[in-house]
Chains A and B, each alone.
Chain A
Amino acid sequence: MSVIVVGEVDGNDVKEISQQVAAVASGMGDVIGIVMGKGISDAAMKLSTSKIIIADDEALEYYDPVKFTSIVAQIVNQNNATKVLMGATTMGKDLGPRVAAELGWGYLGDCLEAGNEGFVRPNYAGKVLAKSNTTDSVVLSIRNNAYPAGESWSGSVENFSGEIPDSGLTTTTIENVGAGTIELTEASIVVSGGRGLESPENYDEHIRPLAAAMGAAAGASRAIVDAGWVTHSHQVGQTGKTVTPDLYMAIGISGAIQHLGGMSGSKFIVAINKDSEAPIFKVADYGIVGDLFEIIPLLKSKLEN
């Protein structure tokens, strides 16, 4: 039984999330990796699957749902594969449903668990977990950090020789808005700020530098996004991003249920808040009740040393 893993490349490497997905898939059958892009062949070979099919083509420079769906479906059909797995990245969440529609399979997005015991995915922003036990063919996207990554090793490599259709979509460029910053959903540490910061200037003065010092992504509560202090791309919670880092730092965030839904899957949670009754402390592994304007600079300078 073969299982397909759609891998993604970032620069000269396979994305960490793709290696995690490869590790999940290894328990499901013979794994065939697919990597699509332009000039990605060397990096693609690092995907930890026993066989790797590389579609390296001018026409695949940017992610395109129509082209990528067609390539994945062709490889699925040639290999009689019964599952397709990918990371729940902006590409995976976009591609997975379209591949499922093309193959006529079910789709489970953003899975927290996937294996022979079944599949678990979050509903209602993680406030409910839904488990299913299907044995049918299915397309899955797997959430970052749900599983450890497989060791990097190379399998046999083949070049994709099928058709690449036209799509009608033309990507002109990728605008680097967050150059040098770490993506929230991929970060192993997230430092988030909320209304306790009192002003947008304090977000820039306290949250961003602490995040930079810790190699972390900077997040935010809905309250300060709605107030226009930071853009929506920073928002963690029910109408923002769901994050599952190794460490989540909630600073000046009271912990509304909509926020908790987006971060309570984190491995360790630290809360810093002046209000000892704030609900965030109920989910925090470690809490500090105190003045964040005193605590954050201390924390930052000690971590830098």
Chain B
Amino acid sequence: MNIVVLVKMVPDTESRLEIVDGKVNESGFKYMVNPYDEFAVEQAVQFKEANGGKVTILSLFSNDGSIDTDLRKMMAIGADEAIVLRQDNYRGDKPSANATVLSNAIKEMEADLIIGGVQGIDYYQSATGPMIAHMLGIPHISGVTNLELNDGKFTAKRQVEGGLQIIECSNPLLVTCQKDMTKVRFPALKDIMMSKRKPFESRTVEPVESNDVETAECSLPPARGGGMIIEGESSEDKVDKLIEKLKTEAKVI
């Protein structure tokens, strides 16, 4: 089984979000592997361990080499190789352009399964995965909480309102993983050492035209005027006052 894992590099959750002239100041950002994509790496490695095959990490990013160490950690989990597509002026908020570049690369890889996280924790569009599947002309299943492979057939559980949609599909297929789809292992020291010898290829790719919508202006959400503490003689007194406020001011109950 030939598995391609889509890994997006996203700003660290601790990154300071500061707006300068209507744009997010990205100069101080440090990048990390998108947490949802780690589940995809782990799942891919488990399939390989059970059925044989190859796991290739595929990432699209700028020419910034600072991400390489973090990507190598994915190989310590058990991926066999990494291919990083390097693009001048890469941006994470262009799902259509990025899906075009990634799907072009995947076309040459004869993948049985393409797997990634359900969304990036930067722009939350959940778009690149389904777009890649469409461009490849294959089905996709998004937001999967459990994926099994038996006799060449995948069975996925997909989170929907009030339940789980159980879907069966043969390969090729694209899947995006919900959090906690599987438990990501801590690599042993031996695997970390070995990962340093695994193939790590950087390829330059050209920017592509797309119809992605450009952001005109960013802003911080309006600060909430919170901070009103309900005082009272006793807990009961406070609860009565809260219920009164919910009825008269918030009008929600």
Find out whether the CB atom of B121 lies under 8 angstroms from the CB atom of A125.
Answer: yes
Interface code A117-161, partner B: CB below 8 Å = 1, 0 otherwise?
011001111111111111011100000000000000000000000
Please pick, from B11, B35, B210, B235, the residue contacting A291 in the complex, using a CB distance under 8 A: B235
A26 at interface, CB cutoff 8 A: no
B169 at interface, CB cutoff 8 A: yes
Contacts of B215 in A (CB 8 A): 130-132
Closest residue of chain A to B173, judged by CB?
A: A168
Complex CA–CA separation, A108 to B217 (angstroms): 15
In the complex, identify which listed stretch (B67-75, B79-87, B136-144, B197-205) lies at the interface while the others stay far away: B136-144
Complex CA–CA separation, A129 to B127 (angstroms): 18
Contacts of A1 in B (CB 8 A): none
Given known contacts A132-B216, A289-B229, A302-B243, is B165 in contact with A171 (CB within 8 Å)? yes
- Distance between A87 CB and nearest chain B CB, rounded to angstroms: 10
Chain A-chain B contacts (Cβ-Cβ < 8 Å), number? 260
Closest residue of chain A to B212, judged by CB?
A: A106
Number of residues from A at the complex interface, CB < 8 A: 97
B148 at interface, CB cutoff 8 A: no
Find out whether the CB atom of B130 lies under 8 angstroms from the CB atom of A303.
Answer: no
- Using C-beta atoms within 8 Å of the partner chain, give the interface range for chain B: 35 or more
Closest residue of chain B to A281, judged by CB?
A: B227
B208 at interface, CB cutoff 8 A: no
Given known contacts A189-B252, A288-B242, is B124 in contact with A122 (CB within 8 Å)? yes
- Distance between B228 CB and nearest chain A CB, rounded to angstroms: 6
Closest residue of chain A to B135, judged by CB?
A: A101
A97 at interface, CB cutoff 8 A: yes
B166 at interface, CB cutoff 8 A: yes
Find out whether the CB atom of B216 lies under 8 angstroms from the CB atom of A175.
Answer: no
Interface code B159-183, partner A: CB below 8 Å = 1, 0 otherwise?
1111111111110010000111000
A13 at interface, CB cutoff 8 A: no
- Distance between B25 CB and nearest chain A CB, rounded to angstroms: 11
A96 at interface, CB cutoff 8 A: yes
Contacts of B141 in A (CB 8 A): 169
- B residues bordering A, Cβ < 8 Å? 11, 13, 17, 19, 24, 35-36, 93, 95-96, 99, 121-131, 133-135, 138-143, 145, 157-170, 173, 178-180, 210-221, 224-230, 235-236, 238-240, 242-243, 245-246, 250, 252-253
Q: List 25 A-B pairs, Cβ < 8 Å.
A: A90-B158, A97-B127, A97-B131, A98-B140, A107-B96, A123-B122, A128-B17, A128-B221, A129-B220, A129-B221, A130-B215, A130-B218, A134-B213, A134-B214, A137-B211, A175-B163, A177-B163, A178-B163, A183-B161, A232-B178, A240-B179, A268-B250, A269-B226, A285-B250, A302-B239
